[in-house]
Structure 1
């Protein structure tokens, strides 16, 4: 740490402050608040992902004592600060301190790196620390092999880093794919390194709890994810492909995206003899994941942020290319990238908080706000207050349960409502709709024959099919109590509260 310039620490402090402001001012998103529910019951694996994000949230909330958005997200902000240090050190290792700075500035201007994984709490947040650490170690390992220097200790650390990366998100397996790919195309001597196999064993030991959990639960995590990317019975899906490409462009910042691919295609025209091995490491770590997701998107829906870690590898190639430009030209490109980033952040925050009403054109009371993406991050605090008030005024104090059919908005209701009211969310429906709630049912007060319950849903997420399914589980259902949530003095969505009578299912 002593070799890090003081200005880097000031830069990290300034960017962290910006992230703290964003993290404190926005309600938790669907995914974030769902991962908070992981932390309620620590396990070795969860329906969707390995457990590291749950450990991180449990730590930053002081064992759940702190109940606010900043505490839940603080692990992402810390992770992003650590990532910035690793990015600088990797750029410096590649060539120079200036390349390190270029890489840091491009990394910071990426929406994926700074906001999606760097401010919002997702499995990607801690994953990026171990992903970037693994890249740094792999570059050192390949250099040490070339110089015939001992690599065993580096392999030990690489095994730990990749194992922890996979404990965050299974995408970390692409790091091992990169190692094998690099060894085959660049340096087959690596395959005879004793440290390689010890490192694999260390990774396997680290992720063994996840493997054991999945064996015990019939590999449900991989059944779910394989279903998401399965090509069987899937036709060409041009809309999914367009979403993937446009998402990659925006999430990584259009300027960063342009610089990344300019650098990649530029490799075919220029010869980087001095950095050829390092460049191949970065390409092996980045391109397979990107091309895999682009290929899958031709047939299936994908999420553009899945490719985020891969683009961080290619950011280093951009930094190397910028080093070959004149300083004014490099500065202009980086400035344009940062300005676009800050312009979007500064514009988005006020719009989410102060836009009058809803972006949606749907004015029907039961569907008000449908399709408005800003409502993922707005109105949940107000929702909690509304439901708390209604529950305290409710004369029937025998109701202790809120039935849910999907993991969202169940997690929002848990965080913003049930921590105040004491209501339980009880999942009814299919496992692929409930996700982790399918298992959390066993830890909650179970509905018994004849029980009454609530079904609560915001109008922008209302689905008549879900309501009809719920109704079939009960003898009766009152008409909804429709309560508005306001934004800048106008309705942005309604909260629909249905009272259900007489649960039908017997033990």
Structure 2
């Protein structure tokens, strides 16, 4: 029976992987994904928005962009998260048994954050989730125990993975907070052991790499993130707060979210009793980040997926809490199957638009502006149609300029890349992000003629934003269709200096 649960876990991980490969092969890149492709095309030890790990993952899985398609690049998320699912299984086995490990895999797969956001799309979350869970798996076997009885190898592996997680995304520093607070309050004997401090060399090295890049670039990453996550703004932003709570509810699955709340209430009321040192370890490695994102949302706009990895961390403990519920295994399998079918239908519908309302606008410049799903559709069609125009009019020798990182990154991948064209960000650093550094790697922009390409989801009149040019010629307006209906317009401009 024990062996069967391991086989069941592997079976469901395999099914999840197959479905995620299908979704990845059908959907075009979203804004963030195509932006992180730039991390692989222009690698560096760190970047304006995040450290460099996601770019290195993309390089590794695509053989340094030798295979440069949506599916292959998304393998940098799909395969690591499949491994992360198995790590969650191992955590469940460690804290109790293989049945808990199996339930943990099912709970992971009904999480939108686990299955889609980190598990299918190319985001820094994919490597962070993998290394976060690996670090948790190693450290939970070591830090709650007496130092003399603990594995030095697992201690070092745990902190190595902490360093790799931090090098994937900044919030992984909460792993260090969890480890230090646990030792300080529950196992101070570690404070007398040199190997505990020596293990910190791994996350310290990651931090030093990030600091070195920022030292070379006026600590621009910290200035950027400080504006996003200030801890001392006392104003109340009701919309941001409600959006964060609702987002956490949806991203982590209402069932998982509510069950975790019930588990926490039961724990603090002494109605959920499990191994105390294990339970405390779970809570200290997960609740601080969740609490921080909720606190920040009181005064600032936040993103619900910032705390997603903390919910994934709590999943094995949640599996213990719900393991005695009637028909829990059967119900989770049903939920897993329902979600796979639902997301497959949504994927097919995004590409075909049989039931989606057709975008309408009084102006062709704003068609589809409110349709967020258009980020994932129409760019392959745009590539073919725009490339034909550029080649027919012999314009592919000209550089493309953009005032913002989006849709610049989409234009870069789907238009400039296949036509061997250069893209320049022309604007302030907060607007062009990575293009500030890309510009420096390319010949200085001295052309008297340039192209400006935009679409009706992001339209801005070039005459209003590029006053360094004197003439603005609309070369072509291209209609992007879905199910024989126009859903977006693409505009090609030729900008000239006297």
TM-score (norm 1): 0.93
Q: Which residue of 2 aligns with 1:119?
A: 120
Contact 1:387 1:417 in 2 (8 A): yes
Q: Deviation of residue 375 (structure 1)?
A: 0.7
Contact 1:253 1:337 in 2 (8 A): no
Q: Deviation of residue 363 (structure 1)?
A: 4.1
- Check if 1:487 corresponds to 2:489: no
Q: Deviation of residue 206 (structure 1)?
A: 3.6
CA distance in 1 between counterparts of 2:250 and 2:358 reads 20
State the SS of the aligned residue for 2:269.
coil
State the SS of the aligned residue for 2:167.
helix
State the SS of the aligned residue for 1:121.
coil
CA distance in 2 between counterparts of 1:234 and 1:402 reads 43
Contact 1:365 1:494 in 2 (8 A): yes
Q: Which residue of 2 aligns with 1:104?
A: 105
Aligned residues: 495
Contact 1:482 1:494 in 2 (8 A): yes
CA distance in 1 between counterparts of 2:403 and 2:245 reads 32
State the SS of the aligned residue for 1:27.
coil
Q: Deviation of residue 344 (structure 1)?
A: 3.2
- Please give the residue correspondences for 1:213-362 in structure 2 after superposition, counting only pairs within 5 Å: 213-230=213-230, 235-270=235-270, 274-326=274-326, 328=327, 330-331=328-329, 333-335=331-333, 337-355=335-353, 360-362=359-361
Shift in CA distance, 395/349, structure 1 to aligned 2, threshold 3 Å? closer
Structure 1 residue ranges without an equivalent (≥5): none
CA distance in 1 between counterparts of 2:316 and 2:11 reads 22
- Please give the residue correspondences for 1:22-101 in structure 2 after superposition, counting only pairs within 5 Å: 22-101=23-102
Runs of 4+ in 1 over 6 A off after TM superposition: none
Q: Deviation of residue 354 (structure 1)?
A: 1.3
Q: Which residue of 2 aligns with 1:502?
A: 497
Contact 2:162 2:202 in 1 (8 A): no
Q: Which residue of 1 aligns with 2:414?
A: 416
Contact 1:255 1:337 in 2 (8 A): no
TM-score (norm 2): 0.94
- Please give the residue correspondences for 1:365-444 in structure 2 after superposition, counting only pairs within 5 Å: 365-395=364-394, 399-444=397-442
Shift in CA distance, 153/351, structure 1 to aligned 2, threshold 3 Å? same
Contact 2:144 2:281 in 1 (8 A): no
Residue among 457, 473, 492 paired with 1:460: 457
Contact 2:248 2:304 in 1 (8 A): yes
Q: Deviation of residue 29 (structure 1)?
A: 0.9
CA distance in 1 between counterparts of 2:273 and 2:161 reads 29
Q: Which residue of 1 aligns with 2:468?
A: 473
Shift in CA distance, 151/467, structure 1 to aligned 2, threshold 3 Å? farther
Structure 2 residue ranges without an equivalent (≥5): none
Q: Deviation of residue 189 (structure 1)?
A: 2.5
